[in-house]
A = this chain, B = another copy of it.
């Protein structure tokens, strides 16, 4: 009877078992199995051992190797809201880049609150990850930094910024927010509402900062009534749009800081009999694949989620090999489609 209670399993052989069959010492097998230095031919003995290991179905035990070398070839990823398509794209890019570099990723996708996220960091560190990627919404939280520092594991913020003391790879959200708003201003809109996402999410507030930038540059005073905070989901878009459109002096255009919320706003417009873009202009953010195919395709800002993931892993790999990680801010692009028009 085996540990898990199954019956017949072919046990994976260990180095020692290979060695016994080969008539050499385990350490010899260990050495024979490690990659030959480039340019050098493996000796006949090495080839023999490798063939035997292969035949016996040898597979290295990463746990044992990790204990010995103090390197697990594992990257921890703390990534709340994984169910969101944009976040998932980011995650897939992280995984692909890590895998290509010989790393695996250990994922935690805790709720959007500080405590669970701290627990996630601890758990990943307990598993001796070689590096840590964090897309938390609460990076500014002091305890967060303390935890990240504690273990000395190279840690990088992805898609978010917190404190300056942690290196971050993000998209240029502030510019994105400004581009979206400037586009509406150029079309002649003067009352522009913004569905601004959660207060504690740096992506959201940086896009909102860009919105403020644009208005300020245009000499238009910022009306705080026009800034509504909600969540990133469809429901948030619905709630936000209703708040804005119920104002005594409602906006003629709405900028939602993500596409999902923009679609929620779309539903509200539909229910109120407002035509897009004639009665209301709408701008989203992220350019998720769906929004280009809507009956009225959505004007939006394309944010390079996959590139952010790739770049983050690259920086982290650098950090893990003793180098200095540097912050990256990747460019975004305004995609003008049919949901915005002049007035």
Q: Are the CB atoms of A322 and B290 closer together than 8 Å?
A: no
Q: Are the CB atoms of A234 and B289 closer together than 8 Å?
A: yes
State in angstroms the CA–CA spacing of A121 and B151 once bound together: 30
List, in ascending order, chain B residues with CB within 8 A of A219's CB: none
Q: Are the CB atoms of B104 and A123 closer together than 8 Å?
A: yes
Q: Are the CB atoms of B294 and A12 closer together than 8 Å?
A: no
State in angstroms the CA–CA spacing of A296 and B294 once bound together: 10
Closest-CB distance, A324 to chain B (whole angstroms): 9
Closest-CB distance, A8 to chain B (whole angstroms): 8
As for how many copies of this chain the complex holds, the number is: 2
State in angstroms the CA–CA spacing of A95 and B87 once bound together: 15
Q: Does A195 touch B at the CB level, under 8 Å?
A: no
List, in ascending order, chain B residues with CB within 8 A of A4's CB: 130, 152-154, 319-320, 322
Q: How many residues of A contact B (CB 8 A)?
A: 78
Q: Are the CB atoms of B88 and A82 closer together than 8 Å?
A: yes
State in angstroms the CA–CA spacing of A86 and B237 once bound together: 20
Q: Are the CB atoms of B104 and A106 closer together than 8 Å?
A: yes
Given A67-B63, A95-B107: A83 in contact with B88 (beta carbons within 8 A): yes
The 4 closest A-B pairs by CB, nearest first: A9-B152, A5-B322, A267-B293, A88-B88
> Chain A: residues with CB nearer than 8 A to chain B?
2-6, 9-12, 57, 59-64, 66-67, 70-72, 74, 82-85, 87-89, 91-92, 95-96, 99, 104-110, 122-128, 130, 150-154, 233-234, 237-238, 260, 263-264, 266-267, 270, 276, 289-290, 292-297, 319-323
Beyond the given pairs A99-B110, A263-B293, 8 more chain A to chain B contacts, judged by CB atoms under 8 angstroms and listed by A's residue number, are: A4-B153, A10-B150, A63-B63, A64-B67, A83-B92, A266-B294, A294-B295, A295-B296
14 chain-A/chain-B pairs, Cβ below 8 angstroms: A4-B153, A10-B152, A12-B150, A12-B151, A63-B66, A74-B106, A82-B92, A84-B88, A99-B123, A104-B124, A105-B107, A238-B293, A260-B289, A260-B290
